[in-house]
Structures are given as C-alpha cells and as structure tokens.
Amino acid sequence: MAGALRSRPVTVVGGGVAGLTAAIALRQRGADVTILERAPAITEVGAGLQLSPNATRVLDALGLMPALDAVSLPSQAVRLRDASGADVVRLDLARHRPRARFRLIHRARLIEILEHAARQAGVRIALGQAVDTPPDGTLAIGADGLHSRMRTALNGREVPFFTGQTAWRAVIADENAANAPEAQVFMGPGRHLVSYPLAGGLRNIVAVLETRDWQDEGWSRPDDPANLRAAFGRFGGPVPGWLAQVDQTHVWGLFRHEVAARWQDGRIVILGDAAHPTLPFMAQGACMAIEDAWTLAACLDHRPDQQAALLRYESLRKPRTTRIVAAANDNARNYHLTGPKRLAAHAALRIGGKVAPGAILSRFDWIYDFDPVTEAP
Ligand SMILES: Cc1cc2nc3c(=O)[nH]c(=O)nc-3n(C[C@H](O)[C@H](O)[C@H](O)COP(=O)(O)OP(=O)(O)OC[C@H]3O[C@@H](n4cnc5c(N)ncnc54)[C@H](O)[C@@H]3O)c2cc1C
C-alpha cells in the first residue's frame, strides 16, 4: 500500500537530472522535499542527451512527456558508419520499435523541464549550498554526481582510473539537422565520433580518442578546436564539414569508476552518477538516474520502514546498473577496433543489418524494454 511518503521531510543533495527527477517523484507522492544545490543557479553545460524508452516511461509517468516533446526530437535510427563515412549498418528504430520513445534533447532543455516541474509541485530549491557531509535529521538523498560527497560518506575515498580515452564535446548550428533525426556513430581505429541533431537547428558532437595524455575528469575545460579537427582529420562523410564549424569545444578524460559497494545506510542513500558513474558509450547515464529516481520514490512510498525501503531500492537497482555500466565499457572496445578485427566486425554488422536488422537491436532489449514504472517496489 502506497502512502508512506506523505508529509515526510526529505533532503536531496544535488539538483542535476537525478536530484530533480527524484524530487518530483517524491513530491508527487506527498513528501516534503528540499533540494540543496551547490551551484548559484540550476544550469547545464551545452551538450546533448539521448533518452531511451526505459527513461521516457518514467518521464511520462511523471506527466512530463508533453513538455519533453515540445523541445526534443524523436530519434528515428542509430546509424553506424566507418571513418570514411561508408555505412556499416542502420538500425531503424522508427521501423523496428515504432512505439518506443527515443528522444534527442539538449541537456539544458531537460533540466529546465525538470526544474519547472519540481518548483510547480512545491519542491524547495536552495541554491549556493555546497554540502560536504550528509545533512542531519531527515532522509538524505545523495544526487551529487560524479564526485559525490554522499558516496564518500558511505564508502570512504575511492580512486578511479584513467581509461586512456579523451573526449571532446561541441554543439554546432545545423539548420538541416532535424530532417534526419538519427544518432550517427563514425568508428575509426582508436577513435570514434557520435553526432545527432537537437531541436532548434543544432547538432551535438562527442568525439573520443584513445591517448596516453592524461586529462581532467571535469566537463568544463575548454580546448582549441584545432586539436579536435587534427584528431579526426582522416574522417570522411559529413564529419569534416561539421568539425570545420566548431568554434568552441571542451575536453575531458574518461575515467572508470566501480559501481558503489554501499548505496545506503538506512538514512543516507545515493542515486545517479553518485552511485554508478558510467562511460558514455551506451548513452545511459541520465537514463539510469531517471530510473533510479522513480524506483527510490516508489520503494519509500510502499514501505513505511525506511531501512527496508532503502534495501529494496538497492537490491532492485544495483544489478541492473552494474550490467549497463559493463555494457558501456565493452562498447568502447567495439567502436575502436583496428586491423583485421575491425574488418571482420564491420562485415558481420553489414551482413546482420541486411539479413536480420531487428536482431541486432534486440541485443539491447533488456535495456530499452525495461519499465521501472510497472516494477513491484
Ligand atoms: C559526453 C557525455 C554524453 C552523455 N550522453 C548521455 C546520453 O546520451 N544519455 C544519457 O542517459 N546519459 C548521458 N550521459 C550521462 C549523463 O550526463 C549523466 O549520467 C547524468 O547527468 C547524471 O546525472 P546526476 O544528476 O547523477 O549528476 P549531475 O548531472 O552531475 O548532477 C549533480 C548535481 O549535484 C550538484 N552537486 C555536486 N556536488 C555537490 C555538493 N557537494 N553539494 C550540493 N550539490 C552538489 C552539481 O552541481 C550538480 O547539479 C553523458 C555523459 C557524458 C559525459
């Protein structure tokens, strides 16, 4: 029986995708929610996000789909190409998954939708509040991202390792982008580039290079676009035209983190990147955060015993997020193959794409068909 959250005070640390979604889900079930956010304003970096049906089901259940549809594009396909631009395989989502809602959205638009919904629902948002130790008195939800203090409070200090991969991100103007709303992945030896359109005549670019150069893990270090152009200078198709337009880019190092060993202690609980930071190669970091948020609120609402509710949340979420993080780690290798392995893998994908395109997509049904909303909390 739901209802255990009614009037319960809850403090959420961090107002990113995880924290805002959790706050909305908790508030809709009657909790008295305060978000403590370090930044002086709720803002987002200029970059895109792919949202898959496992996450859009939650956003729909929270009543956010009309707002999302107004500022996102439906993603119709995932198109794998080699570095020259030649097609390897096109996975037609519109044809093989006609009812599944894949969306392409600017991160800032998603955050605006979530912040607006949270405030409208009556969530209090306190800005400029850097929280170093878990707040006392109430249930404390750690949604404080990659360098989470709440995770450290539960697990002690942990050291991630550099994967030997550096990534650039950029957004360019592209008036025609929305004519072909698909995510494209260009795969070259030791590097790959992902691009997809965003609403409003924009195009998102993320480019990953294997390199021994060590980079910071932050997202906000500007780099000279010439470095990006040089690293992907041999890529063909539309890539040179896109890169020529980049006048601002940021670079960061990709680090591997373990999924947190401890997610909760009966009073503090973590979700999103705080619990399971992932490499971006399955485009699931924000999607997992959105799933977590729903499940956490549902478990707390269905079990008056907070300890039992948090244990249930951890037992539902840890196996799934661990598996998705592992799949993202594997994808990095698949995209960057060299020599004969690369030829063989691309040939197999080309044949598979002709013979049984639906079967290639089915490999990821366990990610996309999952519905957190119907799972028993
Ligand atoms: C290149 C790239 C592409 C990606 N593409 C996708 C994609 O296509 N699809 C997808 O699903 N995911 C994608 N992701 C992953 C996704 O961006 C993250 O997983 C997601 O943003 C995690 O949300 P979060 O709320 O847990 O953390 P964050 O978004 O990092 O939010 C954490 C919040 O906590 C605040 N905070 C931090 N410390 C404190 C403190 N001490 N006190 C108070 N507040 C604090 C921060 O200011 C921030 O607002 C991508 C990531 C990268 C790097």
Distance from residue 223's CA to the centre of ligand 1 (Å): 21
Contact (Cβ atoms closer than 8 angstroms) between residue 89 and residue 349: yes
- Collapse the DSSP code of 212 into the 3-class scheme (helix H, G, I; strand E, B; otherwise coil) and give the result: coil
Q: What is the pLDDT of residue 36?
A: 98
Does residue 342 register a pLDDT over 80? Answer: no
Q: What is the pLDDT of residue 356?
A: 72
Distance in angstroms (rounded) separating the CA atoms of residues 217 and 212: 14
Q: How far is CA 203 from the centre of its chain?
A: 17
Amino acid at 337: L
Of 80-89, 112-121, 356-365, where does mean pLDDT reach its minimum? 356-365
Tell me if 123 is assigned to some domain: yes
Does residue 315 register a pLDDT over 90? Answer: yes
Percent of the chain with pLDDT over 90: 76
At 120-171, the pLDDT tens digits run: 999 999 999 999 999 988 899 999 999 999 999 999 999 888 888 999 999 9
- pLDDT bucket at 29, cuts 50 / 70 / 90: very high
Closest of 9, 30, 19 to residue 302, by C-alpha: 30
Clarify whether 196 is annotated catalytic.
yes
To which residue do tokens 């580039």 refer?
193
Does residue 215 register a pLDDT over 70? Answer: no
Distance from residue 339's CA to the centre of ligand 1 (Å): 35
Distance from residue 18's CA to the centre of ligand 1 (Å): 8
Does residue 323 register a pLDDT over 70? Answer: yes
Number of domains the chain is built from? 1
To which residue do tokens 């097609």 refer?
87
Does residue 372 register a pLDDT over 90? Answer: yes
Q: What atom of ligand 1 comes closest to residue 55's alpha carbon? A: 11
Tell me if 130 is assigned to some domain: yes
Q: What is the pLDDT of residue 307?
A: 97
Does residue 336 register a pLDDT over 80? Answer: no
Q: What atom of ligand 1 comes closest to residue 17's alpha carbon? A: 25
Distance in angstroms (rounded) separating the CA atoms of residues 297 and 119: 17
Q: What is the pLDDT of residue 57?
A: 98
Bridge partners of 361, per DSSP, are none
Tell me if 186 is assigned to some domain: no
Tell me if 48 is assigned to some domain: yes
What CA–CA distances, in Å, run from 146 to 18, 158, 232, 260, 318? 12, 12, 28, 11, 17
Does residue 291 register a pLDDT over 90? Answer: yes
Q: What atom of ligand 1 comes closest to residue 149's alpha carbon? A: 41
- pLDDT bucket at 240, cuts 50 / 70 / 90: very high
Q: What is the pLDDT of residue 339?
A: 75
Question: Between 347 and 283, whose confidence is greater?
Answer: 283
**What would the two tokens of residue 182 be?**
């698909």
Stretch 14-22: mean pLDDT: 98
Range of the domain at 65: 9-76+106-159+257-335
- Collapse the DSSP code of 108 into the 3-class scheme (helix H, G, I; strand E, B; otherwise coil) and give the result: helix
Q: What is the pLDDT of residue 19?
A: 98
Distance from residue 237's CA to the centre of ligand 1 (Å): 31
b/e sequence 98-110, b meaning 16+ C-beta within 10 Å: eebbbbbbbbbbb
Tell me if 53 is assigned to some domain: yes
Q: What is the pLDDT of residue 53?
A: 97
Tell me if 52 is assigned to some domain: yes
Does residue 355 register a pLDDT over 80? Answer: no
CATH number, domain with residue 274 = 3.50.50.60
Distance from residue 211's CA to the centre of ligand 1 (Å): 24
Q: What is the pLDDT of residue 194?
A: 96
Question: Between 357 and 226, whose confidence is greater?
Answer: 226
Query: What is the residue-averaged pLDDT of the chain?
Result: 92
Ligand 1 pocket list (CB less than 6 A): 13-19, 36-39, 49-50, 129-131, 143-146, 149, 167, 169, 206, 272-274, 280, 283-287, 289
Stretch 187-215: mean pLDDT: 91
Does residue 1 register a pLDDT over 90? Answer: no
The pairing of strands 9-13 and 182-188 is unpaired
Distance from residue 156's CA to the centre of ligand 1 (Å): 21
Tell me if 355 is assigned to some domain: no
Closest of 156, 131, 145, 144 to residue 277, by C-alpha: 145
At 35-55, the pLDDT tens digits run: 999 999 887 777 999 999 999
Stretch 224-246: mean pLDDT: 97
Q: Kindly report the number of other CB atoms within 10 A of residue 46's CB atom.
A: 15
Tell me if 141 is assigned to some domain: yes
Bridge partners of 87, per DSSP, are 81
Q: What atom of ligand 1 comes closest to residue 130's alpha carbon? A: 42
**What would the two tokens of residue 350 be?**
């080309």
Q: Indicate the DSSP class of residue 47.
A: -
Does residue 360 register a pLDDT over 80? Answer: no
Pocket test for ligand 1, best of 37, 42, 196, 228 (most atoms within 8 A of CB): 37
